């Protein structure tokens, strides 16, 4: 049996909210029409770290990557017929 470990990664960054772009709205509509109950862009994978690579270093780099790229912290909400995007501020994620 393979044991999967979960870890928390902290990140910082600004939070923001605004309307979705035209392209984001078009992609949202397409997904809602064809696959409404699918977590369409949510992917997961597992892998083993090569010898000599410290887990703490990898987790720290993941946190820096999430801090730097707001698109990795962006959520979409559909309310009252409007699609909005929300950039998550400082927090933690499970990896």
Q: Is residue 50 over pLDDT 60?
A: yes
- Helix, strand, coil percentages, rounded to 5, for the chain: 35, 25, 40
Cβ-contact 74, 80 below 8 angstroms: no
How many structural domains is the chain composed of?
1
For 74-95, write each residue's pLDDT tens digit: 999 998 989 999 999 888 888 7
Asked whether residue 45 is assigned to any structural domain, the reply reads no
Asked whether residue 1 is assigned to any structural domain, the reply reads no
Cβ-contact 8, 94 below 8 angstroms: yes
Position 85 scores a pLDDT of: 95
Query: In terms of residue numbers, what domain contains 16?
Result: 8-35+51-94
Q: Is residue 4 over pLDDT 80?
A: no
Asked whether residue 61 is assigned to any structural domain, the reply reads yes
């Amino acid at each position: 049996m393979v044991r999967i470990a979960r870890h928390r990664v902290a990140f910082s960054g600004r939070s923001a909210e605004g309307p979705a772009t035209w392209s984001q709205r078009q992609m949202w509509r397409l997904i809602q029409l064809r696959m409404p109950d699918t977590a369409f862009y949510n992917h997961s994978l597992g892998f083993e770290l090569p010898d000599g690579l410290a887990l703490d270093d990898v987790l720290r780099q993941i946190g820096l990557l999430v801090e730097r790229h707001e698109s990795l912290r962006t959520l979409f909400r559909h309310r009252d017929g409007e699609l909005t995007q929300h950039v998550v501020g400082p927090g933690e994620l499970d990896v």
